[in-house]
Amino acid sequence: MEQQNIYQPYLMEIEKITEEAPMVKTFRLKFKNEEEGNNFSFHTGQFGEYSVFGEGEVTFCVASPHTRKGYIECTFREAGRVTSELASLNEGDTIGFRGPYGNIFPIDDWKGKSLLFIAGGIALPPMRSVIWSCLDKRDQFKDITILYGAKSVADLVYKDELAEWKDRPDVKLVTTVDPGGETPDWKGEVGFVPTILDRMTPISENTIAIVCGPPVMIKFTFPILEKYGFADDQVYTTLENRMKCGLGKCGRCNVGKVFVCKDGPVFTRTQLKELPDEY
Amino acid sequence: MEKQLKILKYSDLSKLIEKFRSQGFPVLAPVRKGKVVEIEQVQSLDEIALDVLLSTQSAKKAAFPKVEKVLEYTLEKSGTKQFPVDPADYKETILFGVRPCDASGFKSLDAIFGEEPKDQFYLEKKEKSTIISFSCPVSDEYCFCTSVGGGPGNTAGSDLQFTGISKDEILVEILTEKGEKLAATFADLLTDAAKDIDKSKFLADVKVVFDVDGVVEKTTASFNNSALWLEQSLRCIGCGACAFVCPTCACFDFQDEQNTKKGVRLRLWDSCGFSLFTLHTSGHNPREVQSQRWRQRIMHKFAYMPEQLHVVGCEGCGRCSRACPVDMNIKEHLTAIGEMVKV
């Protein structure tokens, strides 16, 4: 049967809350209706609209990998009205979720290639979904390198997973904090992401680079990738714009004729270059 | 279906409305409310403002209301329940006395809400609306329907169209199966019309002022022409009135309203002219200044919609210009775009 009300969310129970960093939390969400949960599937890169009933909806990428069924996770920073309300909830509380929406990271096309993940700040969550989706099929890819930077040591999210990746022999993890953000016992790098990337002298051959971060980080990271020979088709990112419906109807997330919600949020740098300056 | 022509007497219009009412159909029609003319539910003919050129608001609210409930829920944090809001819960309705530009305006909304995934809130209401348009005997300086493919007697989107052909008689065009079904309920008021009636004699003369294909082509190429958008929008105060009176504007917002126990999620009209429309929580705004928001308005209707939905998002009704508090005139702006030599 055709879905009658496309704006009706699934009801989700907050199963687990993890404090990631100051003002940043991860919710593990379980479908309250088991059948809905069983029928639900998504692919890494997709996003959803999360509801706090009585307050409204907020847009995040699904932060968990599509290779793990039965739950989804979202990681958010307390910043606006809905995220502040979200942050006040407890385990066991109910929220809504609509999705999955948008296009995907085509990880099946990346088989046999090396992957270079470059993330800054609160942009690790959307990338974490891709990272785990790839790590769960580790034998399909060659080298996996993760460069992650945040303002300060406290601001690094997924600290347990960073430790896990650090320990894995099949992952190369480089973490960095902005100058001044280090603590006395910090063992990672100090410097902005593009600077550290340059120092890493990345190899572009047979490599896909996935870049997520604040606009200023992306702006300075692209030229470094270019310097090391990454072609525009080898570079992926995910855009965000303010959204309401997530379905290409409410009219606000478009970048020129392209709807971020429907045609994105995942774009190659080739596609990005064709977009007008409206994001 | 092949169009059928009938004659209805003006003196029977009142009976017609009574017939609709007695069959239980809500009738929406233009109604005077002080200085404005709204499209509202009426009980009888004398409430209907048939003599006005154009209602202040367009007819879109019949299928896309200003405010509508899309969710209803209880607010216990751990046990929130949702109650089904059924888009199909809407009565067969008659939209009476609207203009051809109102009727054809629905094709833009059909395209936006009919795209997958389908928005049944709109589609159900649209499907259950039978549209009786009245062709235009007069126009004013704001009208430019003929420049965007419409006209004072355009029948696109109408199920029935009425045209006054004398003091006493109305030509009734039966245009769709829905129209035919409704016309069957008042067949006793209809007589056959002469096949050779020249309807155009009874219509306003609306001059074509620009070539729409040229405007679409030049608009599409003008994203980076910031001087153009700035010059056209210098006066714009971003009030959004243009979007609220527009028959094709479909942008919307969601807002939750609640008391202590229950809440609803409402879908409300919104406008790309508002600075908050695209503002990120971080403070970043992809359309930071009014000229970018004006560009979005024009490009959405004359570049993005033609390319992606194969429809020009404008009916030439001129409502936006009539409503504009700073007298921006879309007909003039589009003419200027059409006349640009260099894009």
The answer as to CATH 2.40.30.10 being correct for domain A10-101 is yes
The residue written with tokens 């990112």 in the block is A237
What's the pLDDT at A1?
A: 42
Q: Do A93 and B279 touch (CB under 8 A)?
A: no
Q: What's the whole-number mean pLDDT along residues A38-43?
A: 95
- Of B142, B183, B140, B186, nearest to B159 by C-alpha is B183
Domain range for B120:
4-65+87-202
Per-position DSSP letters for B50-71, written without gaps between them: TTSSS-SS-GGGGTS-SEEEEE
Q: Which of A2, A215, A244 has the CB atom closest to B252's CB atom?
A: A244
Determine, yes or no, domain membership for B51: yes
Find the residue in B nearest to A99 (Cα): B117
For residue A168, give how far its alpha carbon lies from the nearest alpha carbon of chain B (Å): 35
Residues B31 and B161 in one domain: yes
Domain chopping of chain A, boundaries = 10-101, 107-238
Instruction: Check if the beta carbon of residue B42 is closer than 8 Å to that of residue B29.
Output: yes
For residue A14, give how far its alpha carbon lies from the nearest alpha carbon of chain B (Å): 9
What's the pLDDT at A2?
A: 54
pLDDT digits (tens, 9 = 90+) for A6-21: 999 999 999 999 999 9
Determine, yes or no, domain membership for B71: no
Q: Do A6 and B120 touch (CB under 8 A)?
A: yes
Q: Do A251 and B252 touch (CB under 8 A)?
A: yes
- Phi, psi torsion values for B10, nearest 5 degrees: -55, -40
Q: What's the whole-number mean pLDDT along residues B264-285?
A: 95
Find the residue in B nearest to A6 (Cα): B119
Residues B334 and B250 in one domain: yes
Instruction: Check if the beta carbon of residue B150 is closer than 8 Å to that of residue B315.
Output: yes
Identity of residue B220: T
For residue B257, give how far its alpha carbon lies from the nearest alpha carbon of chain A (Å): 6
How far is A243 from A265, CA to CA, in rounded Å?
11
Domain count, chain B: 2
How far is B232 from B337, CA to CA, in rounded Å?
10
A134: exposed, middle or buried (Cβ count in 10 Å: 0-12, 13-18, 19+): buried
What's the pLDDT at B79?
A: 78
Residues B187 and B297 in one domain: no
Q: Which of B75, B115, B279 has the CB atom closest to A53's CB atom?
A: B75
- Of B58, B121, B338, nearest to B219 by C-alpha is B338
Interface test with chain B among A1, A4, A24, by most B beta carbons within 10 Å: A4
Q: Given phi > 0 = left and psi -120 to 50 = alpha, else beta, which region is A241?
A: beta
Q: Do B270 and A94 touch (CB under 8 A)?
A: no
Alpha carbon distances (Å) from B240 to B190, B243, B245, B281, B290: 43, 5, 9, 21, 11
For the record, the structure tokens of B302 come out as 């004359």
Percent of chain B with pLDDT over 90: 91
Topology given in CATH for the domain delimited by A107-238: Rossmann fold (3.40.50)
How far is B37 from B34, CA to CA, in rounded Å?
8
Task: Give B-chain residues touching A272 at CB under 8 angstroms.
Answer: none
pTM as predicted:
0.94
Q: Do A252 and B278 touch (CB under 8 A)?
A: yes
Instruction: Check if the beta carbon of residue B303 is closer than 8 Å to that of residue B312.
Output: no
For the record, the structure tokens of A149 come out as 């930077």
Determine, yes or no, domain membership for B81: no
For residue A185, give how far its alpha carbon lies from the nearest alpha carbon of chain B (Å): 31
What's the pLDDT at B75?
A: 87
Q: Which of A3, A4, A51 has the CB atom closest to B86's CB atom?
A: A4
What's the pLDDT at B85?
A: 84
pLDDT digits (tens, 9 = 90+) for B36-89: 999 999 999 999 999 999 999 999 999 999 999 999 999 887 778 888 888 888
For the record, the structure tokens of B245 come out as 């009176």
Of B202, B223, B239, the last residue of a domain is B202
Percent of chain B with pLDDT over 70: 100
How far is B223 from B221, CA to CA, in rounded Å?
6
For residue B35, give how far its alpha carbon lies from the nearest alpha carbon of chain A (Å): 31
Instruction: Check if the beta carbon of residue B160 is closer than 8 Å to that of residue B131.
Output: yes
B274 in helix, strand or coil? coil
Q: Is the peptide bond before A100 cis (omega within 30 degrees of 0)?
A: yes
Tell me B282's DSSP state.
T
What's the pLDDT at A3?
A: 66
Q: Which of A56, A80, A89 has the CB atom closest to B256's CB atom?
A: A56
How far is B124 from A127, CA to CA, in rounded Å?
40
B87 in helix, strand or coil? coil
Find the residue in B nearest to A85 (Cα): B77
Q: Which residues are bridge partners to B160 per DSSP?
A: B132, B174
CA B156 to chain centre: 13
Q: What is the mean pLDDT of chain B?
A: 95
For the record, the structure tokens of A250 come out as 């409410």
Q: Given phi > 0 = left and psi -120 to 50 = alpha, else beta, which region is B196?
A: alpha
- Phi, psi torsion values for A160, nearest 5 degrees: -65, -40
Q: Do A8 and B70 touch (CB under 8 A)?
A: yes
Residues B157 and B279 in one domain: no
Residues B178 and B268 in one domain: no
State the ipTM, two decimals: 0.92
How far is B343 from B338, CA to CA, in rounded Å?
10
Percent of chain A with pLDDT over 70: 99
- Phi, psi torsion values for B140, nearest 5 degrees: -135, -175
Q: Which of B80, B251, B263 has the CB atom closest to A251's CB atom?
A: B251
How far is A128 from B286, CA to CA, in rounded Å?
26
Contacts of A173 by beta carbon, 8 Å cutoff, 6+ apart: A145, A146, A148, A162, A165, A166
For the record, the structure tokens of B241 come out as 């009135």
pLDDT digits (tens, 9 = 90+) for A113-170: 999 999 999 999 999 999 999 999 999 999 999 999 999 999 999 999 999 999 999 9
* Exposed e or buried b per residue across B40-67, where buried means at least 16 C-beta atoms within 10 angstroms of its C-beta: bebeebeebeeeebbbbbbbbbbbbbee
How far is B1 from B160, CA to CA, in rounded Å?
12
Residues B218 and B169 in one domain: no
Contacts of A164 by beta carbon, 8 Å cutoff, 6+ apart: none
For residue A274, give how far its alpha carbon lies from the nearest alpha carbon of chain B (Å): 12
Q: How far apart are the first and last CA of chain A?
A: 37
For residue A10, give how far its alpha carbon lies from the nearest alpha carbon of chain B (Å): 9
Q: Which of A51, A79, A90 has the CB atom closest to B281's CB atom?
A: A79
Of B202, B226, B247, the last residue of a domain is B202
CB < 8 Å from B in window 96-135 of A: 96
Instruction: Check if the beta carbon of residue A40 is closer than 8 Å to that of residue A20.
Output: no
Residues B24 and B59 in one domain: yes
Of B202, B222, B255, the last residue of a domain is B202
The residue written with tokens 């973490």 in the block is A175
pLDDT digits (tens, 9 = 90+) for A202-227: 999 999 999 999 888 999 999 999 99
Q: What's the whole-number mean pLDDT along residues B252-271?
A: 94
Q: Do A53 and B120 touch (CB under 8 A)?
A: no
Determine, yes or no, domain membership for B309: yes
Q: Do A278 and B287 touch (CB under 8 A)?
A: yes
How far is B175 from B158, CA to CA, in rounded Å?
7
Residues B263 and B140 in one domain: no
Determine, yes or no, domain membership for B185: yes
Residues B196 and B229 in one domain: no
Residue B119 has pLDDT above 50, yes or no: yes
Q: What angle do CA A259, A240, B222 make, to 5 degrees?
A: 45
Question: Crossing angle of helices B290-299/B330-339, nearest 10°?
Answer: 80
Residues B195 and B228 in one domain: no
Find the residue in A nearest to B274 (Cα): A252
Residues B219 and B100 in one domain: no
User: Helix, strand, coil % (nearest 5) of chain A?
Assistant: 25, 30, 45
Q: Which of A9, A215, A249 has the CB atom closest to B113's CB atom?
A: A249
Tell me B12's DSSP state.
G
Residue A29 has pLDDT above 60, yes or no: yes
Determine, yes or no, domain membership for B53: yes
Instruction: Check if the beta carbon of residue A175 is closer than 8 Å to that of residue A117.
Output: no
pLDDT digits (tens, 9 = 90+) for B166-209: 999 999 999 999 999 999 999 999 999 998 899 999 999 999 99
Q: Which of B118, B252, B255 has the CB atom closest to A56's CB atom?
A: B255
For the record, the structure tokens of A164 come out as 């896990």
Alpha-carbon Rg for chain B, nearest whole angstrom, is 21
What's the pLDDT at B341?
A: 84
Task: Give A-chain residues touching B250 at CB under 8 angstroms.
Answer: 249, 251
Determine, yes or no, domain membership for B94: yes
